């Protein structure tokens, strides 16, 4: 019977860690680290409940889960606090419900229940089972894993959830202290404790539902806003391309007449007049016909790069680009916009902050047997915040800025590709390498 408690705690730890494995970025994925994390939490729990008051034990368990999360996953402070608080709150509130029901049914005080080793272990096992059932219900109905990822990456909404969890945990531990006061009727205390735990769990469901919905809507709004900005720039480029087409059409109309005149002059051996007309044609082409540069072999990508070239010209940024996007790369038009618009925008924005060195954006591409590789290199001011192995925006509101690079990385990874970030703070050069898989050819399929 004494082994049931530790065994159920191990089961609960594994259940929670596997859940965070689905919604978090891995730092260490080998099974030995998970064993170490579970062992750490088990040892801390046994020692704290053996030698310390339950109030200290609760927060030590919470701290050990936070340490386990930090050992296994990449996360900021709010995410680590969320991991520890949701773990402890779920278990502690479930324990309160089971314990209160036992007390009411058996008509004995909570203190007498906990002093009995048999009841203590049974309550703990049932609390673990109830916590897992409630968590599964939340994951299936209220907060599926895809929505949980949105919430987990939204600092503002996740902070609200963490504050709620910590205050509720403090509130439940204070009510639990009532079992040491003999003048409080145990039936009233058990009913109060039961109601508090049930209400706190129900309110957690509402809090998670609301914050996840807000996080999802915020991310959708940011996606939409980013896409609108990109599409508006494409419209501007198409308008400039239309002007180029119109000017070329006018030049071509006059060109046919002029060439007829040149031929006539050449037949009559009036070479000087013919040369003057040819010089006028050249000057007219340079002056009136807009020059449209080609940066890639893809029309949409070329329009994005043309827009970037115009922005760089206005900001006095050297722009050197030539990209080949093979047909074997299965990128939709929306994928191209998501990836290249966001990465190029980030490069130009980084260059705009540089004052005492050359400002440049260079984009080149190359191919290997199975990959199309695009490298985007730009100058930056050398100031870089690294969090979870990735650069973070230096702007105040991190939920609203630094969003473009996340979109690009998510899009590339959805295609089965890779995005590598290689900043050199000493040379003040920022490089992004995009590796996009090429679809196998028909010949390869047959082989």
Per-residue pLDDT, averaged over 349-370, amounts to 89
| Residues 73, 179 within the same domain | yes
- Answer whether residue 109 is part of any domain: yes
Least confident stretch, 254-258, 282-286, 288-292, 322-326: 288-292
Do 311 and 429 sit in the same domain of this protein?
Answer: yes
pLDDT band at 440 (very low <50, low <70, confident <90, very high): low
Q: Comparing 9-18, 89-98, 225-234, 428-437, which segment has the lowest mean pLDDT?
A: 225-234
Pair 60, 13 in one domain = yes
Is residue 258, in this structure, part of any structural domain at all? yes
- 194-198, 266-270, 281-285: range with lowest mean pLDDT: 281-285
In a domain, 94, yes or no: yes
Q: How many CB atoms lie within 10 A of CB 272?
A: 8
Strand, coil or helix: what is 294? coil
pLDDT band at 98 (very low <50, low <70, confident <90, very high): very high
Q: What per-residue confidence (pLDDT) applies to 46?
A: 87
Angle at 25 between CA 21 and CA 30, to 5 degrees: 60
Whether 154 and 253 map to the same domain: the answer is no
Q: Of the candidates 262, 288, 314, which is a domain's last residue?
A: 288
Same domain, 134 and 155: yes
**Domain span including residue 401:** 299-446
Is the domain of 216 the same as that of 245?
Answer: no
In-domain check, residue 293: no
First to last CA, the chain: 61
**Which residue is listed with tokens 């089972």?**
129
User: Does 258 lie in the same domain as 397?
Assistant: no
Q: What confidence category does residue 444 fall into, taking pLDDT thresholds of 50, 70 and 90? A: very low
- 124-169 pLDDT per residue, tens: 999 999 999 999 999 999 999 888 988 998 888 999 999 999 999 9
Instruction: Indicate whether 97 and 178 sit together in one domain.
Output: yes
> What DSSP state is assigned to residue 365?
E
Residue 45 in any domain: the answer is: yes
Do 218 and 236 belong to one domain? Answer: no
pLDDT tens-place string over residues 34-52: 999 999 999 988 888 788 7
Rounded-to-integer distance, Cα 446 and Cα 382, Å: 50
Query: Is 436 domain-assigned?
Result: yes
The string over 79-89, giving b where at least 16 C-beta atoms fall within 10 Å of a residue's C-beta and e elsewhere, is bbbbbbbbbbb
Final residue of a domain: which of 235, 258, 288?
288
Distances (CA, A) of 95 to 47, 92, 119, 121: 19, 5, 12, 11
Is residue 139 located within the same domain as residue 214? yes
- Residue at 294 is within a domain: no
Structure-token match 């340079």, residue found: 286
Percentage of the chain with pLDDT > 90? Answer: 36
Alpha-carbon distance of 90 to 127, in angstroms, equals 9
Same domain, 53 and 202: yes
Closest by CA position to 214, among listed 269, 145, 154? 154
Q: Is 51 part of any domain?
A: yes
Q: Let me know whether 49 and 109 are in one domain.
A: yes
- Number of compact structural domains in the chain: 3
∠ CA 15-19-25, rounded to 5°? 135
């Amino acid at each position: 019977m004494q082994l049931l408690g530790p065994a159920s705690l191990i089961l609960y730890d594994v259940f929670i860690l596997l859940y965070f494995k689905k919604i978090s970025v891995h730092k260490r994925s080998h099974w030995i680290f998970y064993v170490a994390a579970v062992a750490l939490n088990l040892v801390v729990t046994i020692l704290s409940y053996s030698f310390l008051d339950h109030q200290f034990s609760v927060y030590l368990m919470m701290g050990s889960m936070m340490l386990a999360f930090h050992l296994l996953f990449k996360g900021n402070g709010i995410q680590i606090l969320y991991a520890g608080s949701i773990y402890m709150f779920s278990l502690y509130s479930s324990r309160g419900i089971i314990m209160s029901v036992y007390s009411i049914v058996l008509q004995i005080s909570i203190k007498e229940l906990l002093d009995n080793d048999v009841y203590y272990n049974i309550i703990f096992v049932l609390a673990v089972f109830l916590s897992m059932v409630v968590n599964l219900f939340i994951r299936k109905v209220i907060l599926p894993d895809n929505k949980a990822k949105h919430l987990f990456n939204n600092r503002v909404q996740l902070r609200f959830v963490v504050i709620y969890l910590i205050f509720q945990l403090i509130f439940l531990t204070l009510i639990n202290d009532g079992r040491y006061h003999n003048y409080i009727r145990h039936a009233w205390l058990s009913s109060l404790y039961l109601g508090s735990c049930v209400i706190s769990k129900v309110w957690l469901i509402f809090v998670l539902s609301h914050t996840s919905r807000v996080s999802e809507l915020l991310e959708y709004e940011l996606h939409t806003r980013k896409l609108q900005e990109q599409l508006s720039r494409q419209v501007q480029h198409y308008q400039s391309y239309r002007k180029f087409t119109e000017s070329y059409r006018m030049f071509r109309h006059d060109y046919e007449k002029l060439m007829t005149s040149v031929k006539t002059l050449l037949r009559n051996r009036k070479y000087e007049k013919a040369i003057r007309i040819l010089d006028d044609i050249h000057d007219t082409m340079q002056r009136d016909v807009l020059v449209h540069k080609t940066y890639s072999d893809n029309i949409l990508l070329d329009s994005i790069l043309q827009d970037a070239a115009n922005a760089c010209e206005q900001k006095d940024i050297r722009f050197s680009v030539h990209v080949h996007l093979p047909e074997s790369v299965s990128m939709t038009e929306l994928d191209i916009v998501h990836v290249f618009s966001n990465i190029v925008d980030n490069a130009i924005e980084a260059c705009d902050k540089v004052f005492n060195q050359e400002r440049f954006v260079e984009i080149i591409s190359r191919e290997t047997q199975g990959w199309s590789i695009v490298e985007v290199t730009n100058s930056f001011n050398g100031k870089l915040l690294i969090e979870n192995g990735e650069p973070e925006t230096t702007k105040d509101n991190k939920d609203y800025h630094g969003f473009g690079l996340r979109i690009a990385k998510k899009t590339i990874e959805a295609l089965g590709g890779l995005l590598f970030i290689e900043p050199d703070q000493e040379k003040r050069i920022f490089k992004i390498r995009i590796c996009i898989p090429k679809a196998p050819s028909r010949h390869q399929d047959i082989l």
